[in-house]
Amino acid sequence: MQPRAHLANFTVAYVITSAGRDVFADMALVSILSMRISNPGLGIFVLCDEKSALTLSANKHRRLDVCDEFIAVPTPDGEPAFRHRWIKTQLCRYVDGNVLYIDAGTLVRGSEAQNCVIAAIRSGYAPPPQGTGWAVG
């Protein structure tokens, strides 16, 4: 797939470590599609460790069809969570320019170039504590 013209001064980056067809790859796909629909001119890159990249490609995960560039990153050995965090610390080595990292659990609901309108799930998927200002519903 050819990279799209970048209308904003940044590129969107996702990091996926996956066993192929699991909830994390599917969550990232939904987030990528929400970004693509609400921000059609932004470049979307997906970075993945080499092991996960092989599995996703072998399973023909749809994520391959919706990003502008898929980058397999060599990582040290470790659990998927470690590889995921390691890639996030290395983003600037693999994506040029300004990068907006978006977590796989994020649903984009508006233009990132004009306003940051993003819905996200708190880590642990638990309701937020009362008094934090976070709306539940």
Q: How many CB atoms are closer than 10 A to CB 14? A: 23
Beta strands in the chain (DSSP E): 11-16, 44-49, 69-73, 99-101, 106-108, 118-120
So what's the pLDDT on residue 128? Answer: 53
Domains of the chain: 11-120 (3.90.550.10)
So what's the pLDDT on residue 65? Answer: 76
- pTM (two decimals): 0.74
132 pLDDT more than 60: no
pLDDT in tens, 33-80: 999 998 888 899 999 999 988 888 877 766 667 889 999 999 998 888
